[in-house]
Amino acid sequence: MASSRLQSTARQLSKTFKKKGRFEIGIANELPPAYKKFWREWKVLKPAAVHFVPQEGKWRRDELTGETLPIQNVHIPLKHPAEINDGIWGGEAVVKGFQKRDPYKRRVPHFWVPVLKRTVVKSEVLNTHLSVTVTDRTIRLINDHYGFDHYLLKTPACDLVSMLALKLKKHILTELVNGCPRYAHDPKKQAEIYEEYKTYLSSYTPEEIEWYGLTWYEALCKVAKQKEAANRPMPLKSVYRKNLVEKLKAAGIDGSPASAEDISNTTSWLSKMNLFGKKDEQA
* Residue 268 engages another protein in binding (rule: CB under 8 A): no
Cα–Cα nearest to 176, from 162, 191, 154 = 191
For Cα atoms 101, 135, 89, give the angle at the middle one, nearest 5 degrees. Answer: 100
Say if residues 84 and 161 touch (Cβ distance below 8 Å).
yes
Strand 108-112 to 117-123 pairing: unpaired
Cα(276)–Cα(11) distance, rounded to whole angstroms? 82
Q: Which of 28, 76, 158, 163 binds another protein (CB under 8 A)?
A: 76
Closer to another protein at the Cβ: 52 or 240?
A: 52
Q: Which of 8, 11, 45, 52 binds another protein (CB under 8 A)?
A: 52
- How far from chain centre, in Å, is Cα 215? 4
Cα–Cα nearest to 209, from 175, 182, 180 = 175
Closer to another protein at the Cβ: 111 or 276?
A: 111
Quote the least distance from Cβ 107 to another protein, whole Å.
Answer: 5
Cα–Cα nearest to 161, from 95, 218, 213 = 213
Q: Which of 36, 137, 171, 222 binds another protein (CB under 8 A)?
A: 137
Positions in 172-231 near another protein (CB under 8 A): 196
Say if residues 142 and 117 touch (Cβ distance below 8 Å).
no
Quote the least distance from Cβ 129 to another protein, whole Å.
Answer: 7
Cα–Cα nearest to 154, from 164, 144, 167 = 144
* Residue 53 engages another protein in binding (rule: CB under 8 A): yes
* Residue 64 engages another protein in binding (rule: CB under 8 A): no
Q: Which of 32, 37, 41, 51 binds another protein (CB under 8 A)?
A: 51
Q: How far apart are the first and last CA of the chain?
A: 88
* Residue 103 engages another protein in binding (rule: CB under 8 A): no
Q: Which of 40, 140, 189, 242 binds another protein (CB under 8 A)?
A: 140
Q: Which of 6, 11, 33, 54 binds another protein (CB under 8 A)?
A: 54
Closer to another protein at the Cβ: 22 or 140?
A: 140
Read off the amino acid at residue 29.
N
Which residues of the chain form contacts with another protein (CB under 8 A)?
Answer: 48-54, 56, 69-70, 72, 74, 76-77, 92, 95-100, 107, 110, 112, 114-115, 119-120, 122, 129, 135-137, 139-141, 143-144, 146-147, 196
